[in-house]
Amino acid sequence: MKVLIIGSGGREHAIAWKTVQSAKVNKVYCAPGNAGMEKIAECVDIDPSDIASLNEFALKNSIDLTIVGPELPLTLGIADAFEKNGLRVFGPTQSGALLEGSKAFAKKIMKEAGIPTADYCLFSEPEPAKQFIREKNCPLVIKADGLAAGKGVFPCQTMDDAMEAVNRILTDREFGDAGSSIVIEEFLSGEEASFICLTDGKTVIPLPSSQDHKPVYDGDRGPNTGGMGAYSPAPVVTPRIHELAMNNIMLPLVRTLSSSGIKYKGIIYAGLMIENNIPNVLEFNVRLGDPETQPILFRLENDLIDIINAVIDERLSEVSIKIDHRPAVCVVMASGGYPAEYKKGFEIHGLEQADEIENTIVFHAGTSLENGTPVTAGGRVLGVTSKGKTIEDAVNTVYTAVDKIHWDGVHFRKDIAMKAKKR
Ligand code: AMP
Ligand code: GLY
């Protein structure tokens, strides 16, 4: 089989790493990939949002399977376009991808399906939104409806913050058309977890639970990032929470999508907020999480291609997932300045030494090769991932590996998986 993987992050490197292990696969392409993916696959310089060029490439190179990493190509309808040409693709069609592409759509489906989530109201004009905020009072969370690269969510503790968020999204149009309407919702407190499932539109199979670390600094301080680290499993997802997440969230969601005429095949990722043993949904994503995928796929023992084929052929009910019982932890190493402005092009030292550490893989994200040498090329640069007998073991190993790696300005959180250790 020839496989094309779309994307260039740590998630996509982890997908590529699993894909090359499949006995069914003899060639892997990545578009556009990174320096880590270049070691195990052939990288082609096509932007993930350039659906027409990806389509052309897949047809010309007789690609047997395309795995879509990020949400943007899915919301742009890559699955629809590929399927029209008889190409096999892993990821939902455009109508399904709306679950992530529009917060208003996600909320509407949740209401229809009776899925526990924050109460909300939808606005497209600033004045009625501000009137609503005055009536409700803070804390509230204000979200741009469309995709805003993770920057369109404003948890507001004060009225001033809330008014400013409305101005930035609806009046100043900071996020363009993604901000032509907003969702204002109730503020939920608790502990977050990522509950990521496979579905073929009928059967739902959960992957192991995980937890991301969104704020940039230790102790969950500072601005939000794409994710500074993750571990799996997440002990906050107890057997009871798992049962509630399946019965009250995932199964009703897939049933409701299906009865709305949406044949959803691929990944559904529920961002959960857990308090008093109750999970509420913060958001749905239509793809794997980054960095959650790194520890999850490190623990997955099945052939990834078998699972993906079962999803596409709608025989997921035949699959049983095998997971390494050992926990895994991923620490993201980022460019100085990230998530704000940062410089690129710094040489990365110590990759080989880190790779030599047992039960450890260094997944690349924002890296590229300059005359054969890996250099930084993005905000999140590496996702160092280790397994251990216990979460403590995995944490000790991962930070031993992280300490081997260096470049000018590198920063990372030193408390990844602390919450799990406390439990
Ligand atoms: P989202 O993209 O909707 O998941 O939002 C990004 C982050 O904002 C989440 O991971 C939460 O940390 C926070 N967030 C979103 N919605 C809420 C909410 N209703 N209450 C509290 N925090 C929220
Ligand atoms: N790690 C958060 C996300 O993938 O959305």
Same domain membership, residue 208 and residue 176: no
Q: Which ligand is nearest to the CA of 285?
A: 2
Q: Which residues line ligand 1 (CB under 6 A)?
A: 118, 141, 143, 153, 155, 185, 187-188, 192, 214, 271, 282-283
CB of 292 shorter than 6 A to ligand 2: yes
Pocket test for ligand 1, best of 153, 182, 195, 281 (most atoms within 8 A of CB): 153
Ligand found nearest the CA of 275: 1
User: 179 and 81, same structural domain?
Assistant: no
3-state secondary structure of 76: coil
261 lies in the same domain as 314:
yes
Q: Is 421 helix (H, G, I), strand (E, B) or coil?
A: helix
Q: What is the DSSP letter of 143?
A: E
DSSP output for 229-283: EEEES-TTS-HHHHHHIIIIIIHHHHHHHHHTT----EEEEEEEEEETTEEEEEE
Asked if 211 and 420 count as a contact pair (C-beta separation under 8 A), the reply is: yes
- Clarify whether residues 158 and 69 are in a common domain: no
Chain centre distance of CA 59: 28
CA of 285 to the centre of ligand 2 (A): 8
- Tell me, in angstroms, the distance from the centre of ligand 2 to residue 101's CA: 14
CATH number at residue 59: 3.40.50.20
Closest-CA residue, ligand 2 atom 5, reads 289
CA of 153 to the centre of ligand 1 (A): 7
Q: Range of 11's domain? A: 2-91
Residuewise pLDDT in 10s, the chain (423 residues) = 999 999 999 999 999 999 999 999 999 999 999 999 999 999 999 999 999 999 999 999 999 999 999 999 999 999 999 999 999 999 999 999 999 999 999 999 999 999 999 999 999 999 999 999 999 999 999 999 999 987 899 999 999 999 999 999 999 999 999 999 999 999 999 999 999 999 999 999 999 999 999 999 999 999 889 999 999 999 999 999 999 999 999 999 999 999 999 999 999 999 999 999 999 999 999 999 999 999 999 999 999 999 999 999 999 999 999 999 999 999 999 999 999 999 999 999 999 999 999 999 999 999 999 999 999 999 999 999 999 999 999 999 999 999 999 999 999 999 999 988 888
Q: Provide the number of structural domains found in the chain.
A: 4
Q: Is residue 96 part of a domain?
A: no
Give the domain CATH number at 297. 3.30.470.20
Q: Could you give the dihedral angle defined by the CA atoms of residues 352, 354, 359 and 364, in that order, rounded to the nearest 10 degrees?
A: -80
Task: Tell me the pairing of strands 140-144 and 153-156.
Answer: antiparallel
- Determine, yes or no, domain membership for 100: no
